[in-house]
């Protein structure tokens, strides 16, 4: 359940926060100003670590008392021992990663579970834009032009399910959400999620080797 104190957080982060058990060891990749981790420390007493590329944001996190490493997330994940964390969170970043398969493998190595969220590229509004306008689609979740977009990976919920099954990741839970940018609000989509969800959140566990 999403507890009321989380109201100031982005909806997808609230959903993620609600899935973390108290006292867990959590790594947040691309933790920004550390809002999610700060909330988890405060309310769930987690052992929090963040990785953030931006120097000012990393410094801000550290000065608010969160352990954060300033650096490139692809490199930083390599140094941790196996299963060093209970949860590794990669929120709204996967679509910007150059080698997503490699990164996801690292997450599965260092975390007992990992949580990935990304904008769903098969949302009906995107499909309609492509169909009727014949141009690279834009949306509130993906507001960029083709030439300046940091989002270099086009991912849909269905694609991610297939990828997970291909490489042997077990999807513990899939939460499709519909968000409202203005209010930070949102809701869970249960029906026709690949068409109606703006974001997908996947909680993944690596299948034990046979």
Partner 1 sequence: MNRKVQADPDPGSAGLVEKQFYTFAHPPQQMVLESGARLGPITIAYETWGRLSEKRNNAVLVTHAFSGDSHAAGFYGGEPADAKPGWWDSMIGPGKGLDTSKYFVICANILGSCMGTTGPSSINPETGKPYGLGFPMMTIGDIIETQKVLLDYLGIDSLHTVIGGSIGGMQVLEWCVRYPEMVRSAIPVATTMRHSALAIAFNEVARQAIMGDPHWELGNYYDKTPPALGLAVARMIGHVTYLSDEAMRRKFGRQLQDKSHFSFGFDADFQVESYLRYQGSKFVKRFDANSVLYITKAADYFDLAQREAPARSLQDIRGAATKYLVVSYTSDWLYPTYQAKELVQSLKRANLDVSFCEIEADCGHDAFLIPDQRLGRLVGGFLDGVARN
- What residues line the site for partner 1 (CB under 8 A)? 49, 55, 58-59, 62-71, 79-81, 84
Kindly tell me which of 12 and 76 has the beta carbon lying closer to partner 1.
76
Kindly tell me which of 89 and 155 has the beta carbon lying closer to partner 1.
89
Distance of closest approach, residue 71 Cβ to partner 1, in angstroms: 7
CB 96 within 8 A of CB 150: yes
Alpha-carbon distance of 198 to 130, in angstroms, equals 16
List the structure tokens of 128: 């309609």
Distance of closest approach, residue 53 Cβ to partner 1, in angstroms: 11
Kindly tell me which of 53 and 149 has the beta carbon lying closer to partner 1.
53
CB-count exposure of residue 56 (10 Å: 0-12, 13-18, 19+)? exposed
Chain position carrying tokens 């141009």: 135
Alpha-carbon distance of 142 to 163, in angstroms, equals 22
Kindly tell me which of 17 and 69 has the beta carbon lying closer to partner 1.
69
Distance of closest approach, residue 57 Cβ to partner 1, in angstroms: 10
């Amino acid at each position: 359940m999403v507890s009321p104190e989380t109201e100031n957080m982005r909806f997808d982060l609230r959903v993620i926060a609600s899935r973390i058990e108290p006292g867990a060891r959590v790594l947040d990749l691309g933790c920004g100003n550390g809002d999610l981790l700060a909330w988890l420390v405060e309310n769930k007493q987690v052992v929090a670590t963040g990785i953030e590329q931006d120097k000012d944001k990393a410094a801000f996190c550290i000065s608010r008392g969160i352990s954060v490493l300033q650096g490139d997330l692809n490199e930083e994940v390599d140094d941790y021992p196996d299963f060093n964390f209970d949860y590794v969170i990669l929120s709204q970043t996967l679509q910007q990663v150059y080698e997503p398969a490699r990164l996801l493998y690292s997450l599965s190595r260092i975390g007992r579970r990992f949580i990935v969220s990304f904008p769903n590229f098969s949302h009906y509004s995107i499909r309609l834009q492509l169909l009727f306008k014949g141009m690279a689609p834009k949306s509130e979740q993906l507001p960029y032009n083709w030439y300046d977009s940091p989002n270099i990976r086009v991912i849909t919920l269905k694609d991610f399910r297939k990828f997970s099954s291909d490489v042997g990741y077990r999807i513990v839970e899939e939460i499709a959400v519909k968000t409202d940018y203005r209010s930070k609000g949102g809701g869970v989509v249960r029906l026709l999620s690949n068409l109606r969800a703006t974001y997908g959140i996947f909680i993944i566990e690596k299948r034990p080797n046979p």
